[in-house]
Structure 1
């Protein structure tokens, strides 16, 4: 039985659960608390949620597929409340330890899933990603993290936050394990093609600090050696802050549609940040939503003209290393906004994004993201192998 030394688990099973045999034989994993398992209550990161919901009738499709492939489920992991945060600090359950940098947060909302893998308690873990909830924890904890193309993986049984952004995802410490897990979902590195265009948009890199640029320079040099010189053409207008505004309003409307009735009826005690986001979500009007839907469509159309199947877009996963544990709430909110200006790119467009350990900065991990056109997830895995 696992000894949880990093406060990653909400529930450790007395005996690992396995239902089949296959390519994941011998690998132990954990699942985020928003994955349903038949006859178990999915806690969703909030004690009131758990108290007001009964056992699940079905097992989440992703979880069932991993179990049937031989993965051994060790337990379920802590997460930010209802997955509506990216920092990894839960007012009710605390903050899992970031083993790669113990004085810093692990990132969320898949905080426990990342912490469990980073600490070596399991071989891999399942998370979910709406606005960066796999990518940010992977970057902060020095892990590989995959956000697949939106809609490519069946999300049935994954509790929703904002369905047009929500995707299942997973964490590993090494690339070979990432390849094994991805393959059971049809994302096979052997079927991947090496991209021919390396796009490092000036819109992102010009905003990147000199320290982060310097830390990631060796990885970029390797990529240029494989793919040729970088194309630094900017992202299409508007500015990243406007992309984030579109994402924030779109996500908030969907979150209230999915969860608002429960929030009103159960009156849960949310922690800082989450409470404010749900309060804001309640005020988003249908007219507000219809406007950002139009803006999102325009962003996707403009990006799709530039994001050919032969392109890999490369950028820092986050603006820098994880925030310190003693950061103020104001500093955390500010950092969250900066992260979301970056992570909303894949979310708005439904693109796959693979976060890889890119460098060390201030003795903490700094992630690098490889982003592809929709359904080109396997190209990202193949390129990571060449790195």
Structure 2
């Protein structure tokens, strides 16, 4: 019989933690504790969505999100709900209202967001795993910054009912773990089983993407890339079709921002919340995007997908850095943060636009701080990423 312990939040990771965690009983995740990002529905509780006015102006959920219920049914014990960035619309982990959760792997640096508290809780050992959500990188980036495993599944593969929307055509539930064994167990409970996957025949390591890193960060990755190459698989180094990535990012930003305003604009207009730096500007940008601009971006996304699908077949895994470098320092000024955000999202928009699954694994330490390595597979080949990670 497992002993369920209350959380002592030493990382500032939780919006609410339970003195008596909710027991999941028996199951494949029995004895494991988990935390949930504060944008998931839980019966009888108001999801805070990273903003105090949101929590004050919304009613309690009538049902529990299926992703949360599935973890409880698998036997895991829910010990609380984690802090996040406002309405999930950022990737640094800084929240002007609630503060910045601790990045235990690099305490002088941000934890990444928007699933900041979920990553922080796992990195600090306060939960064995945590649920987050990923729209533009909100699982992959915190996983990279905090030295964790973080999976963004194929878009639409996991039931996202009960997850507060940011941009529905990108939003997915995702999860964090400290070790691969727990990642395999949690993923299997979501129906993604490493044993059903195949180690790829071909690794796609595009020189164009890796050249975006500074020479120093690239040098830090030499050993881990060498281990991949030592697997004896075919290596492809050609560029992605339809570049530059800056054009992909512009398409992603148009789609995400438009959808974010459609999902949240009525509430913002009515309640006039005070957002922290950058968040309000991103919503304002979304409010000004025309229907034609949105439809043009939709067409560009379809063109990107069509080109990628012609060259990205089953048996191939795309290998890129999860972020352009370590997490920014906590005291980094907003203009520099915004520039780093753009560099990062040039990487994260690849999976977002294509609906691909992406697994960020602990990659390297650079200047004493983690930088993740991302493995990306064709849609619905999530299990291949787990098989490759296990082979490593």
Q: Does 1:43 align with 2:37?
A: no
The answer as to whether partners of 1:202 and 1:235 remain within 8 angstroms in 2 is no
1:241 Cα offset (Å): 0.6
Single out whichever of 103-112 and 257-266 deviates more from structure 2.
257-266
Aligned residues: 387
Structure 1 residue 67 displacement after superposition? 0.7
Given the alignment of the two structures, is residue 80 of structure 1 paired with residue 119 of structure 2, yes or no? no
| Counterpart residue number, 1:317 | 322
CA contact (8 A) 2:29 2:185 kept: yes
Residue among 294, 298, 301 paired with 2:303: 298
SS at structure 2 position matched to 1:315: strand
Say if 2:140 is the partner of 1:135.
Answer: yes
CA drift of 1:14 comes to 2.1
Structure 2 residue matching 1:241: 3-state secondary structure: helix
Equivalent residue, structure 2, for 1:330: 335
- Which range moved further: 207-216 or 86-95? 207-216
1:114 to 102, 114, 119: 119
Please identify, of 267-276 and 211-220, the stretch whose mean Cα deviation from structure 2 is larger. Answer: 211-220
Gaps of 5+ in 1: none
Note if 1:100 corresponds to 2:132: no
Given candidates 162, 165, 173, the residue that maps to 1:157 is 162
Determine the structure 1 residue equivalent to 2:151.
146
Aligned to 2:15: 10
Runs of 4+ that moved beyond 4 A = none
| Partner Cα distance (1:212, 1:348) in 2 | 26
Superposition TM-score, scaled by structure 1 size: 0.99
1: CA distance between counterparts of 2:364 and 2:340? 20
Contact 1:24 1:71 in 2 (8 A): yes
Query: How far did residue 227 of structure 1 move?
Result: 4.1
Q: Structure 1, residues 194-224: CA drift from partner, whole Å, max 9, x if none?
A: 1011101122012222122111111111111
CA distance in 1, matches of 2:125, 2:56: 31
DSSP-derived class of the 1:369 partner: strand
Q: CA deviation at 1:309?
A: 0.7
**SS of alignment partner, residue 126 of structure 2:** coil
Match of 1:215 among 209, 216, 220: 220
Equivalent position of 2:210 in the other structure: 205
CA distance in 2, matches of 1:109, 1:169: 12
In 1, distance between residues paired with 2:104 and 2:59? 34
In the alignment, what sits opposite 2:62? 57
- SS of the residue aligned with 1:159? coil
| Residue 256 of structure 2 corresponds to residue 251 of structure 1 | yes
Rate the CA distance shift 1:227–1:160 in 2: closer, same or farther, 3 A: farther
User: Is the Cα contact below 8 Å between 1:145 and 1:170 reproduced in 2?
Assistant: yes
1:285 aligns with one of 279, 283, 290 = 290
Distance across 2 between alignment mates of 1:228 and 1:161: 38
Instruction: Let me know the Cα RMSD of the aligned residues.
Output: 0.8
- Work out the CA distance in 1 between the residues paired with 2:162 and 2:380: 22
Q: Distance in 1 between matches of 2:179 and 2:211?
A: 30
User: Of 271, 276, 298, which residue of structure 1 is paired with 2:276?
Assistant: 271
SS in 2 for 1:75: strand
1:226 equivalent among 227, 231, 236: 231
Residue 30 of structure 1 deviates from its aligned partner by 0.4
What per-residue deviation string (whole Å, max 9, x for no partner) do you get for residues 24-69 of structure 1? 0000010000011001000000001000001001100100000111
| C-alpha distance in 2 between matches for 1:53 and 1:336 | 30
Contact 1:22 1:69 in 2 (8 A): yes
2:267 alignment counterpart: 262
Q: Is the 8 A contact 2:201 2:234 kept in 1?
A: no
